[in-house]
Amino acid sequence: MTRKPIAIEIAMPSGPAHYWSLMQAAGPKGFTIRSIALASEGVAYKSVKRYVEFLKAEGFVVRIGEKRDGFAMQAVYAVKRPQRNAPIRRAEGKTEPFTARQALWNAMRTLARFSINELAIAASTEERPVAQRTADAYVRALLKAGAVIVIDPPQRLKGKGSTVGVYRLSPRANSGPQAPKLCNANFIFDMNTRKPLGEAVVTEARP
């Protein structure tokens, strides 16, 4: 069977990062809680409201007025303290730990070249060790996407065991500090028109 690439429109996961990007994109005109909820996939109004209340309490957004949105008057907010990463609520006195993939991404960006084992070691801390199989799976996924480049491919040598592969992060893929997410897409494909039906729903793959 011939495998052909297709272009599809996807609905990316919602959450603080998504809300925050919409809020910053709204600019000085501001946004309402309802407008953010409507622009998010499968999100309840109260979920966005809780996040906006947190941002307001921490000084990241301010109320700048109100307007009619739908059938009721809605408060209008604007971002006061813009920043790249979405503000996240943390338990007092604690810092949010990196995920294994984020730790691996940070290590890739600092290492000129690496093997799977070297990457796992560089990404590990005493509190959160990163397994070699986790590093291997993430590197393989990024290889398929063209984000990681093979310098020396792993080889099995007759009578001498095998050699480890050596890799590096592609400069073009080094777009910023946030680690690329591995996502699963669920969609229905029409074999007659060779096109997907409806939207694809994307969820982040579990580590």
Q: State pLDDT tens for residues 98-112.
A: 688 889 999 999 999
> Mean pLDDT throughout 60-66?
95
Query: What share of the chain in percent tops pLDDT 70?
Result: 74
Q: State pLDDT tens for residues 43-59.
A: 678 889 999 999 999 99
Q: What is the CATH number of the domain that holds 121?
A: 1.10.10
Residues 23 and 106 in one domain: no
pLDDT at 92: 46
* The 3-state secondary structure of the chain, one letter per residue: CCCCCCCCCEECCCCHHHHHHHHHHCHHHCECHHHHHHCCCCCCHHHHHHHHHHHHHHCCEEEEEEEEECCEEEEEEEECCCCCCCCCCCCCCCCCCCCHHHHHHHHHHHCCCECHHHHHHHHCCCCCCCCHHHHHHHHHHHHHHCCEEEEECCEECCCCCEECCEEEECHHHCCCCCCCCCEEEEEEEECCCCEEEEEEEEEECCC
pLDDT at 2 over 70: no
The amino acid that residue 108 corresponds to is M
Phi first, then psi, for residue 205 (nearest 5°) are: -70, 140
Query: For residues 183 and 83, which has the higher predicted lDDT (pLDDT)?
Result: 83
Residues 109 and 159 in one domain: yes
pLDDT at 3: 57
């959160």: which residue's tokens?
A: 128
The domain total for the chain is 2
Tell me if the pTM is above 0.85.
no
pLDDT at 38 over 50: yes
Judge whether 202 lies within some domain: no
Q: What is the mean pLDDT of the chain?
A: 82
Residues 106 and 75 in one domain: no
Residues 118 and 185 in one domain: yes
pLDDT at 8 over 60: no
pLDDT at 202 over 70: no
pLDDT at 4 over 70: no
Query: For residues 143 and 176, which has the higher predicted lDDT (pLDDT)?
Result: 143
pLDDT at 95: 43
Instruction: State which residues form the domain around 169.
Output: 100-197
pLDDT at 30 over 70: yes
Q: State pLDDT tens for residues 152-165.
A: 988 865 555 566 89
Residues 67 and 23 in one domain: yes
Judge whether 93 lies within some domain: no
Residues 166 and 108 in one domain: yes
Residues 70 and 146 in one domain: no
